Amino acid sequence: MTTLLYIVGILVVAAAASWLFRAALIAVLPRPGKLLFRTMPLVASFGLLMIIIYVSAALFAPVIAPYGEAEVFDKFNALPGDDPRFLLGTDQIGRDLLTRLIYGGRNTIGIAFLTTVLAFLLGAIAGFLAATVGGWLDQLLSRTVDALMAIPQLIFALLLITIFGQSTINMILVIAVLDSTRVFRLSRAVAGNIVVMDYIEAAKLRGEGLGYLIFREILPNATPPLIAEFGMRFCFVFLLIAALSFLGLGIQPPLADWGSMVRDLSQFINYAVFAPLTASLPLMAAGAIALLTVSVNFVVDWMLHRASGLKE
């Protein structure tokens, strides 16, 4: 019963915070923004609020974090409440967990965002080229993408990172190339519906070049689905980076990240029966991963609903 009341209380607080955040946006934004956010559902408002909090914490991590990212203290495996200097305790080598949690968000989110941007540049440009040029180029790119997508992404990423070496740069490049295949499929499908329009034919008759067709005609009309897909791709990349870090092939020490924090703190699960608070330590990073993923999905669902033209 106590757990149920605790969950209900969290939901009530989240709903109230989302409503206040939406009301504040409506009050301070100009008229177009008021009309946009007045129809925003509470779940999307909650997702946007969480995204802003995560991004703010990532940007101002050196100011918010109580200690340095790799700073080591003489007290290791300290539990919450053992030492007033460490609010959430310390890990197995004496690093402050609160600091690692804050910097872990900065590293994981920042690297996931950079990887997603690179994947979109590769996939969208290749998809637009395949749809616009067609012919042998379309067949070559499409068959290459089919071959890459036939292999499970996590296994393929593990194989390539093992071959090329464990480094952040290699991980970004490998994940960006593998994830660009999904972006290619979407951008090619969207562009394929656009290139048959009359205004594209008119631009070709005017003698416009390939760059003009892609960046001035196709891209503006393909932006809404690509923006929504960017949010979804970010979630998948974010989870893949966390999974690789959990397996020891992702973000490497001394950089902090949430995937490796879940792995390092998994030892405390054994204390679940005797000390529930201690057993919840591995859930801090896991909960941070889940909350950001759910928040981004809330916002993406709202954007897709708006782009589809459906009414409430």
Position 75: which residue type? K
Q: Which of 194, 202, 185 is nearest to 223 (CA)?
A: 194
Token pair recorded at residue 36: 């946009």
Helix ranges (DSSP H) in the chain: 2-28, 31-38, 42-59, 61-64, 97-133, 135-149, 153-164, 168-194, 198-205, 210-212, 219-246, 258-264, 276-279, 281-308
Q: Looking at residue 284, what is its pLDDT?
A: 80
pLDDT per residue over 8-50, tens digit each? 777 788 888 888 888 888 888 777 777 777 878 888 889 889 9
Read off the pTM: 0.84
Q: Where are the domains of the chain?
A: 69-308
pLDDT category, 3, cuts 50, 70, 90? low
User: pLDDT band at residue 274, thresholds of 50, 70 and 90?
Assistant: very low
CATH architecture classification, 69-308: Orthogonal Bundle (1.10)
CB 119 within 8 A of CB 179: yes
Mean pLDDT of 249-265: 82
Q: Lowest-confidence range among 38-47, 121-130, 171-180?
A: 38-47
Contact assessment for residue 61 and residue 244, using Cβ atoms and an 8 Å cutoff? no
Residue 1, pLDDT above cutoff 60:
no
For residue 119, what pLDDT band results from cuts at 50, 70 and 90?
very high
Four-residue CA torsion sign, 58, 302, 287, 115: negative
Average pLDDT over all residues of the chain:
82
Mean pLDDT of 189-206: 82
Give residue 310's pLDDT.
45
β-bridge mates for residue 90, sequence order: 96
What is the rounded distance in angstroms from the CA atom of residue 180 to the CA atom of residue 122? 6
How confident is the model at residue 260, as a pLDDT?
Answer: 84
User: Would you say residue 56 has pLDDT above 80?
Assistant: yes
pLDDT at position 203: 80
Query: What percentage of the chain exceeds 70 in pLDDT?
Result: 91
Residue 55 · residue 296 · CB < 8 Å: no
Is the per-residue pLDDT at 168 higher than 70? yes
pLDDT score at 114 = 92
Percent of the chain with pLDDT over 90: 7
Per-residue confidence (pLDDT) for residue 235, from 0 to 100: 87
Average pLDDT in the 120-136 region? 88
> What would the mean pLDDT of 71-87 be, rounded to a whole number?
77
* pLDDT on residue 271: 56
Q: In whole angstroms, give the CA distance from residue 93 to residue 283.
A: 19
